[in-house]
Amino acid sequence: GQQLNQSPQSMFIQEGEDVSMNCTSSSIFNTWLWYKQDPGEGPVLLIALYKAGELTSNGRLTAQFGITRKDSFLNISASIPSDVGIYFCAGVYNQGGKLIFGQGTELSVKP
């Protein structure tokens, strides 16, 4: 089946550092979504991208929909302790709206 490759799997950073993670696929997607999941909670939508080349920000978060429609990245600037969690990318690959998820990037921030 279709797969998304998300990297890195985990990151350990110092508070204040910038963070970058990305997802790639062999398939073309119509939509890219980025979610954050806190321990024991459901994923919360951070940013949604709907057009190739689109660059969208949400506070300290910036995400881009790759021109080839096969990749996306998420940047977090000036990380803070509450950024800790697992970040997932997800691609929508058909009209039915089914998502394919990346494996997640676990972010740890040291104060």
Partner 1 sequence: DVKVTQSSRYLVKRTGEKVFLECVQDMDHENMFWYRQDPGLGLRLIYFSYDVKMKEKGDIPEGYSVSREKKERFSLILESASTNQTSMYLCASSGGYPKETQYFGPGTRLLVL
For partner 1, the binding residues (CB under 8 A) are 1, 30-31, 33, 35, 40-45, 48, 50, 88, 90, 92, 96-99, 101-104
CB of 57 to partner 1, least distance (A): 17
Of 110, 92, 90, 75, which is closest to residue 45 (Cα–Cα)?
A: 90
CB of 92 to partner 1, least distance (A): 4
CB of 111 to partner 1, least distance (A): 26
Query: Is the Cβ of residue 97 or residue 111 nearer to partner 1 in the bound state?
Result: 97
Q: What is the 3-state secondary structure (H, E, C) of 86-97?
A: EEEEEEECCCCC
